Amino acid sequence: MDLSIIIVNHNTSSITKNAIRSIIETVKEVKYEIIVVDNSTYSDGVFCFSDPRVRIFSGFVNKGFGNACNIGAKKALGKCLLFLNSDTILNEHTIDKAYNKLISDDDIGALGVRQLLKNGELDAGCKRGFPTPLNSLYYFLGLDKRWPESKKYGAYHQTFIDQRSVAEVDCLSGAFIMMRRDSFEFISGFDEDYFMYGEDIDLCYRLRQKGFMVLYYGEVFLTHLKGESSSSSLVCLKHFYQSMQIFYDKHYRFKYNFLVGVLVKIGIKLKYLLARGKFLRNGGKKR
């Protein structure tokens, strides 16, 4: 088995089915299986796939996205793993070409592809720099939009890297992360301290710390129906900003002085309160 494609389903059977169909329709060369880890809180539909390559595992307590991915990895038979969001639609040969690129170089620890939103625009999160205090500050001040070609000001979303290029980056979006199984196991998989959000950045950070390359492969793409695999709620919003603090405490707390840590904590809290206020003003909808 070349590849195990791991999809987490949480109350989103309809879009998960669409993602699975797009895999079956577009993958022509790679020998694969599809593993669905269903940690839904209620039954929102029944998975019915006659294709024997689709395996469904359910009955798990929802302990977060990273935990579900780790469960899927333990069930996997492939020599490589693809963690794929349920709200994605694959383009023709995206997985085939990404897989061939991954196995062409032993130094590649993780590989991600170009991700386009429903409107055709780039999902900026598919190629990112690490959220250092300065990178985050420049991003929040909008300096990356003013000077997108600058490696200094555009570091947060690597805006200086052409979206169709192939380039080494700091981290990828968890919507599509392809890895060799041995690389995944070498760093002990996803850190389950993150319930949702941030676990992809943490994974890539630990890969980079071990000397692996994290590669953005912009020659192929998928469509990311962003936000449809997670509910628009204050709980999700809280998890998003909590993950920022968890990442800082794990990886940057002792790299920067106490004052920087205090400012980061205040900044994260302020951003959360602003986002929460906007969310409530919009009637509970992300905009």
Q: Which residues pair with 168 in a beta bridge?
A: 215
pLDDT at 287: 41
- 235 pLDDT tier (thresholds 50, 70, 90): confident
φ and ψ at residue 197, rounded to 5 degrees: 75, 140
Q: Work out the angle between the directed axes of helices 234-251 and 199-209 (0-180°, nearest 10).
A: 20
Alpha helices in the chain (DSSP H): 13-26, 65-75, 94-103, 133-140, 143-146, 181-186, 199-209, 234-251, 258-281
Residue 2 has pLDDT above 90, yes or no: yes
Query: 54-58 and 32-38: which strand pairing?
Result: parallel
Residue 45 has pLDDT above 90, yes or no: no
pLDDT at 86: 95
Both tokens assigned to 71: 């469960």
Range name among 59-68, 209-218, 221-230 with the lowest pLDDT average = 221-230
pLDDT at 284: 61
pLDDT at 69: 98
CB count within 10 Å of CB 222 equals 26
Residue 251 has pLDDT above 80, yes or no: yes
Half-sphere exposure of 148 (CA within 13 A, CB side): 7
> d(Cα 174, Cα 178) in Å, to the nearest integer?
10
Q: What is the mean pLDDT of the chain?
A: 92
Instruction: Please write the tens of the pLDDT for every residue from 133-176.
Output: 999 999 989 999 999 999 999 999 999 999 999 999 999 999 99
- Homologous superfamily of 3-127+163-224: Spore Coat Polysaccharide Biosynthesis Protein SpsA; Chain A (3.90.550.10)
